[in-house]
Amino acid sequence: MAAVANPTAIHRILDEILGDAAPTAMAPSVLPAQCFTRLSVPRYPFRGDDPNMARPCWQDQRLHAEARYRHVQAVLRLSRLTLTDFRNYTALTWRPATRISVLYGPNGSGKTNLLEALSLLVPGRGLRGARHADLARQGGAGGWAVNARFHTRNGETSPGSGEASPGNGEINIGTGTDADTDRRVFRLDGSTTRSQADIARVVAAVWLTPQMDRLFQDGLTGRRRFLDRLVWALEPGHAREIAAHDTAVHSRNRLLAQRRPGNAPAGGSGTDPTAAARSPQHGSWLAGLEDAIARHAVAASAARLDLVTRLNAQIEVSLAQAFPPSRISLACPIVERLTSLPALAVEDWLRAGLEADRARDAAAGITALGAHRCDMRLTDVSTGTPAALASTGQHKALLIGIVLAHAGLIASARGFAPLLLLDEPSVHLDAGRRAALWNVLVTLPAQVIVTGTDADTFLPLAAHAEALLTGAGDLLADSRFIRSETDRTPVPAPR
Ligand SMILES: Nc1ncnc2c1ncn2[C@@H]1O[C@H](COP(=O)(O)OP(=O)(O)OP(=O)(O)O)[C@@H](O)[C@H]1O
Ligand SMILES: [Mg+2]
């Protein structure tokens, strides 16, 4: 059982999921209290006096009344961004002039780098999942820094409570590493934060990147990571649940592997893979690990199911007009059972299944049951086409729908809209879908930063957005759009 509690292993997995957010204490659940229909079993996203009768919150019809951005009370606006030795930026200060900013420029001019800098203002490894060392400018001193000032209007997001309260305010967030250490720090209003959860309470960001363009065509690991990030943004405890689960699975696989032919420990009971089940010591170790897998798998699956249910409801109310209505589902026997059975019964089923599968799993070198086998599916409801079979543009439209709906969910839960970072969202979209996207962006309360290689693509946004040409580690304002304060030499309008 020592392996289950091994903090190094847990840390490694957490780090893989969350990057920098891993070692910090997680914030309490941000799901609205109404989500919990009764109070009891603390590890599931539902509660009940009798754990066997706990009613999951995804069955609560009230959730379906959540309209997009319904509960937004505070407005979060980036008023200044400073980059120091960050990727290709030696020293940049940008003061966004409008709620929507377009960054355009040729390949390699720094568009994604700037979005990445913004994505690092929230806990985690940012939109590229990059290592710290890669973020520091090559040729620089070795450290990097991203500092941002946010204004809050019509409500101030108080760092202490995360609750929106009346008044106007300012929040300063800084993050980075110095040349001597790889350790990343966060500063909130000038003070180093004890926990990154302090940051997560006051600022949030969601993003879409070109790397997601094949999310539903490629392997399930990327999809599951994407799903878990969506869950984690609303349920901070989810990352630890997944980490503990995966650690237990690794430990079980290792223990079972010791019993494979040729791997028997000295003095062990030979090469029969079923011997593990017969050895009392190994049997009890395995039982402990399987108990951990069952508990964490059911908790993680319940959180995933909750998120998917809320997201589907959100997609229904918010995006039906603009994008093809889609439906997310989870291909997972644990989730399947959670829709009809009490959570504790599902735990029992999983525990028994793991025990029964020991010999088969030992031979195959895997754990065939668990939260790590969950897959996420997406279907275009209007045509019945699964995202895996969708065209590139259809796939992109479906994905944009999910990201926007997720932003709406965060806004409803937190009381302020997250930053929306859209890297090349219009690539692959036809004219109609592109226009629909611009229309949605114009109506959202969120601060939006959107990139592309060609300014003309964004001209329909000219009355609503500033546009900045990226290059040489700087930004130049485009005079055809709303003028930015950043402005050094404006880009002249073409004749
Ligand atoms: N650590 C670093 N130090 C210096 N330059 C870097 C570093 N990391 C990346 N770069 C460079 O920054 C430049 C801008 O990269 P970025 O990904 O932002 O380009 P982009 O404008 O998004 O291009 P594309 O249109 O191809 O997506 C690239 O030339 C890249 O090589
Ligand atoms: Mg790019």
- pLDDT tens digits for 99-119? 999 999 999 999 999 999 999
Question: How many Å apart are CA 405 and CA 68, to the nearest integer?
Answer: 7
DSSP string, 433-467: HHHHHHHHHHH-SS-EEEEES-GGGGGGGTTTEEE
* pLDDT band at 152; cut points 50, 70, 90: confident
Starting from the CA of residue 453, give the closest ligand. 1
Separation of CA 180 and ligand 2 centre (Å): 29
pLDDT of residue 201: 84
Separation of CA 117 and ligand 2 centre (Å): 13
If you average pLDDT over residues 393-421, what whole number do you get?
Answer: 92
Question: Domains in the chain and their CATH numbers?
Answer: 7-65+236-379 (1.20.1050)
Judged by DSSP in three states, 108 sits in coil
Tell me: pLDDT of 180 over 80. yes
Separation of CA 299 and ligand 2 centre (Å): 37
Separation of CA 106 and ligand 2 centre (Å): 9
If you average pLDDT over residues 243-254, what whole number do you get?
Answer: 97
Judged by DSSP in three states, 56 sits in coil
* pLDDT band at 43; cut points 50, 70, 90: very low
Position with higher pLDDT, 117 vs 27: 117
132 Cβ below 6 A of ligand 1? no
pLDDT of residue 24: 33
pLDDT of residue 62: 33
DSSP 8-state secondary structure symbol assigned to residue 493: P
Give percent of the chain with pLDDT exceeding 90: 62
DSSP string, 10-38: HHHHHHHHHGGGTTSPPPPP-S-GGG-SS
List CB-based neighbours of ion ligand 2 within 5 Å. 111-112
84, 86, 89, 113: residue to mutate for ligand 1 pocket, most atoms within 8 A of CB: 113
pLDDT of residue 3: 37
For the ranges 8-22, 50-64, 148-162, 366-380, which has the lowest average pLDDT?
A: 50-64
Q: How buried is residue 253: exposed, middle or buried, by Cβ count under 10 Å (0-12/13-18/19+)?
A: middle
Residue nearest ligand 1's atom 20 by CA: 108
The letter for the amino acid at 186 is F
CB 196 within 8 A of CB 24: yes
267's CB contacts (< 8 A; 6+ apart) are none
Atom of ligand 1 minimally distant from the CA of 137: 3
pLDDT of residue 413: 87
Residue nearest ligand 1's atom 12 by CA: 88
109 Cβ below 6 A of ligand 1? yes
Residue nearest ligand 1's atom 27 by CA: 107
pLDDT of residue 490: 56
Starting from the CA of residue 137, give the closest ligand. 1
Say how far residue 287 (Cα) sits from the centre of its chain: 32
Starting from the CA of residue 88, give the closest ligand. 1
The answer to whether the Cα torsion of 105, 109, 110, 115 is positive or negative is positive
323's CB contacts (< 8 A; 6+ apart) are 397, 398, 400, 401, 404, 433, 436
Instruction: Report the chain's mean pLDDT, rounded to a whole number.
Output: 81
- pLDDT tens for residues 251-285? 999 999 987 666 554 444 444 555 545 577 778 99
Position with higher pLDDT, 304 vs 123: 304
Question: How many Å apart are CA 37 and CA 57, to the nearest integer?
Answer: 6
112 Cβ below 6 A of ligand 1? yes
Angle, CA of 382, 385 and 389, to the nearest 5°: 150
Starting from the CA of residue 209, give the closest ligand. 2
209 Cβ below 6 A of ligand 1? no
* pLDDT band at 447; cut points 50, 70, 90: very high
- pLDDT tens for residues 128-148? 999 999 999 999 999 999 999
Residue nearest ligand 1's atom 19 by CA: 108
Q: Measured in Å, how far apart are the chain's first and last C-alpha atoms?
A: 72
Question: How many Å apart are CA 309 and CA 60, to the nearest integer?
Answer: 10
125 Cβ below 6 A of ligand 1? no
Residue with tokens 């088969």: 360
Residue with tokens 């399930």: 220
Residue nearest ligand 1's atom 16 by CA: 110
